[in-house]
Amino acid sequence: MKKISLFIIALNSILASQAQTQFFGKVNVEFEKTTNVHALYKDMEPEWFERIKERLPKTVLSYHNFIGDSTKSIYKPGREVEVDPKTWYRPVADKNVVFTDFKTGRTIAQKPVYEETFLMEDSVSKIKWKLTADTRVIAGYECRKAVGILNDTIGLFAFYTDEIMISGGPEGIQGLPGMILGLGIPRLHATWFATKVDVFDINMNSVTPATKGKKVSRTTMMQSLDKVLRQWGEYGSKLIVNFAI
């Protein structure tokens, strides 16, 4: 009888724990992107960095909003952050608008690149993910760490929660069994972390793709960027990664 009683107590504890876990199918997330400008410039142009580092901010923040459910999502610029006009640095790829159709596996991304605006339509990016045992809490959600390779060349890490049943994340990063609330791309010296997460009364009316821009495939866009940015030397060639994600 004692063993049966202990079993019932343990079972009730498990059921109570499961009952406290909620799962959500819609979300509105604010992401804070942090770019380590000094590390980025030092990596791209070490000699030039030493000459201009006093005119560069150490880090720069930008904000972006993600709204979506299990069928579609939109990632777009969020609240504005004032940029010091005395510095030489200006955020790169901070105006991207990325629409993802999870049902069809297609994406439509509006990407302003200096004087040109591309409207890229293609399949979602292929990312090879490997799940790890590491966890951390982000915006009140326990998240599991995954490491990935984008386009076989760009390393990244992400923290996702399966409490939000959406396989999306910042920019075009997706493909995990839950919502990505934390993302890091070492090559860009940049991280994205959720600062606010709303899961109730989500208005999906704004989840529609952008329509303005030069219509291109991902390959065509990257070829066009390669021709222009490579004229800036190694600095320009490394900027291309910002638009590949």
Q: What is the pLDDT of residue 19?
A: 43
Q: What is the pLDDT of residue 20?
A: 55
With contact defined as beta carbons under 8 Å apart, do 44 and 186 qualify?
Answer: no
For the CA atoms of 4, 10, 14, 20, the dihedral, rounded to the nearest 10 degrees, stands at 120
Q: pLDDT tens digits, residue range 129-159? A: 999 999 999 999 999 999 999 988 899 999 9
DSSP per position, the chain: -HHHHHHHHHHHHHHHHHHH---BSEEEEEEEEEEEHHHHHHHH-HHHHHHHGGGS-SEEEEEEEEEEESSEEEEEE-S-----TTSS---SSTT-EEEEETTTTEEEEEEEETTEEEEEEEEPPPEEEEEEEEEEEETTEEEEEEEEEETTTEEEEEEEETTB-----STT---SSSEEEEEEEGGGTEEEEEEEEE-SS---TT------SEEE-HHHHHHHHHHHHGGGTHHHHHHTHHHH-
Neighbour tally for 19: CB within 10 Å: 8
With contact defined as beta carbons under 8 Å apart, do 170 and 182 qualify?
Answer: no
For residues 70 and 79, what is the distance between their CA atoms, to the nearest angstrom?
A: 25
Q: How do the domains of the chain map onto residue ranges? A: 22-243
Q: What is the pLDDT of residue 181?
A: 98
Q: What is the pLDDT of residue 58?
A: 93
With contact defined as beta carbons under 8 Å apart, do 189 and 183 qualify?
Answer: no
Which residue in this structure is represented by tokens 């105006």? 95
DSSP per position, 42-59: HHH-HHHHHHHGGGS-SE
For residues 207 and 184, what is the distance between their CA atoms, to the nearest angstrom?
A: 25
State how far the alpha carbon of 158 is from the alpha carbons of 178, 183, 185, 217, in Å. Answer: 11, 4, 9, 26
Could you tell me the pTM of the whole model? Answer: 0.88
With contact defined as beta carbons under 8 Å apart, do 171 and 96 qualify?
Answer: yes
Instruction: List the end-to-end C-alpha distance of the chain, in Å, as a whole number.
Output: 60
Q: Please tell us whether the domain made up of 22-243 is placed in CATH 2.50.20.
A: yes
Q: What is the pLDDT of residue 96?
A: 95
Please list the ranges in the chain whose pLDDT falls under 50.
1-19
Q: What is the pLDDT of residue 234?
A: 64
Q: pLDDT tens digits, residue range 16-37? A: 444 456 899 999 999 999 999 9
For residues 81 and 153, what is the distance between their CA atoms, to the nearest angstrom?
A: 31
